[in-house]
């Protein structure tokens, strides 16, 4: 599926339909954003709206069908202002490997433990094109690594070492996705697209 925000019906408050595991866009390497145009800023707004509507803490553009290197992080429940990163790059991963449970809006209902480095140094641009470069640890570092993975066609279950548990979870997910894809299709048709 060639990703394009305009190809999707828009839901309440500009929220976009989600991509689910099995949709090609989630396995593509996303393209860098060449210029932060008004269209890109609109995409970022829709991504924040989608993240909020779905009660996520982070979202990458491929998850709304757009193979572009954009992520948003919303840890407002952890007292952190929501922010976006355009063309984010991990400049450093360090610290001890930390294991914690992860989930993903594109794999609804799947929660598995993933081990990642605790600390990162990340660089990217905000929605105004300003350079951001900062260190992060723990949950924030985990979120950013998870979202940047999406830009490289990876999902968190790729990192899960317990293959048996993962395969069981993915099988159960496949069954759930039948209904979710049907609901998404119905919503997109109702949106007149
Ligand atoms: Ni995800």
pLDDT tens readout for residues 108-151: 999 999 999 999 999 999 999 999 999 999 999 999 999 999 99
Least reliable range by pLDDT among 14-18, 28-32, 65-69, 154-158: 14-18
Please provide the average confidence, as pLDDT, over all residues in the chain.
92
Q: What percent of the chain has pLDDT over 90?
A: 88
The rounded Å distance from CA 52 to ligand 1 centre is 14
Residue 191 pLDDT more than 90? no
d(CA 104, CA 112): 10
pLDDT tens, residue by residue, 31-43: 999 999 999 999 9
Which amino acids are annotated catalytic?
147
Domain 4-191 is in which class?
Answer: alpha beta
Domain ranges within the chain, ordered by starting residue:
4-191
Helix (DSSP H) and strand (DSSP E) numbers for the chain:
3, 5
The terminus-to-terminus CA distance of the chain in angstroms comes to 15
Asked whether residue 3 carries a pLDDT value surpassing 80, the answer given is no
pLDDT tens digits along 57-107 = 999 999 999 999 999 999 999 999 999 999 999 999 999 999 999 999 999
Neighbours of ion ligand 1 (CB under 5 A): 104
CA 147 to centroid of ligand 1, rounded, Å? 6
- pLDDT on residue 190: 85
Q: Cα(130) to centroid of ligand 1, in Å?
A: 25
Q: Are 115 and 180 in contact (CB under 8 A)?
A: no
CA 103 to centroid of ligand 1, rounded, Å: 7
Confidence of residue 13 (pLDDT cuts 50, 70, 90): low
């Amino acid at each position: 599926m060639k990703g394009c925000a305009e190809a999707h019906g828009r839901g309440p408050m500009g929220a976009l339909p989600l991509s689910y595991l099995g949709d090609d866009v989630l396995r593509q390497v996303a393209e860098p954003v060449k210029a932060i145009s008004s269209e890109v800023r609109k995409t970022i707004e829709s991504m924040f709206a989608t993240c909020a509507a779905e009660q996520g803490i982070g979202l990458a553009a491929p998850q709304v069908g757009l193979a572009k290197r954009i992520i948003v992080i919303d840890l407002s429940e952890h007292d952190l202002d929501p922010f976006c990163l355009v063309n984010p790059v991990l400049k450093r991963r360090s610290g001890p490997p930390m294991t914690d449970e992860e989930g993903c809006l594109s794999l609804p209902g799947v929660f598995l433990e993933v081990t990642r480095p605790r600390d990162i140094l990340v660089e990217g641009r905000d929605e105004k094109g300003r350079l951001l470069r900062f260190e992060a640890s723990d949950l924030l570092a985990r979120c950013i690594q998870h979202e940047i993975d999406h830009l490289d066609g990876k999902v968190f279950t790729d990192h899960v070492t317990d293959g048996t548990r993962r395969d069981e979870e993915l099988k159960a997910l496949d069954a759930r996705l039948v209904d979710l894809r049907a609901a998404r299709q119905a919503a997109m048709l109702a949106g007149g697209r």
